[in-house]
């Protein structure tokens, strides 16, 4: 398998895993929840909308994705246990902001569809690229907000 194809499969698995985690946490917000690695993997493998090639690797990416989301400030959790179990996980303000749930004064447009709604649609949709584009939007929105807080003009 070529490196480019492997990277593409890895990124697709990451995109799905990130959308899955965001959707779960948003549904329960503000209550912290436990994310159980094995249960998350089983749910991902059972999801008929996920392409087979992603099902083969998504289990490997779920714990790494949760850690990455924490390291980048989108989520927080109390502890990590065996087999990819994360205890008392919740969204941070950055995570909520990326999903489109912030005060109207911080949003570009009050009529814009919240990103969490796009994530939910992407998870249910059979369009393979939908999840990838949504995660790209989420990460881009986060960077724009960081730049705005740092006083960097938004057109940079």
Report domain extents, the chain: 3-146
Helix or strand holding residue 90 (H, E):
strand 86-91
| Six-digit token string for 125 | 């949709």
> How many CB atoms lie under 10 A from the CB of residue 17?
28
Segment 55-110, tens digit of pLDDT: 667 777 888 899 999 999 999 999 998 878 899 999 998 998 888 776 555 555 55
Partnered with residue 56 across adjacent β-strands are: none
Percent of the chain whose pLDDT exceeds 90: 20
| Number of neighbours of residue 4 by Cβ within 10 angstroms | 8
Residue-averaged pLDDT of the chain? 75
- The full length of the chain comes to 156
């Amino acid at each position: 398998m070529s490196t480019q194809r492997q990277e593409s499969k890895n990124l697709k698995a990451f995109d799905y895993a990130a959308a899955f985690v965001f959707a779960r946490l948003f549904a329960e917000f503000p209550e912290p929840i436990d994310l159980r690695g094995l249960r998350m993997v089983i749910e991902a493998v059972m999801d008929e909308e996920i392409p087979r090639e992603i099902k083969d690797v998504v289990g490997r990416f779920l714990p790494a994705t949760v850690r990455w989301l924490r390291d980048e400030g989108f989520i927080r959790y109390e502890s990590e246990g065996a087999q990819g179990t994360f205890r008392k996980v919740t969204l941070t303000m950055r995570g909520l902001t990326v999903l489109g749930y912030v005060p109207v004064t911080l949003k570009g447009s009050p009529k814009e569809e919240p990103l969490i709604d796009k994530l939910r649609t992407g998870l249910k949709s059979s369009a393979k690229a939908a999840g990838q584009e949504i995660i790209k939007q989420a990460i881009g929105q986060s960077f724009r907000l960081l730049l705005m807080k740092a006083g960097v003009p938004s057109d940079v």
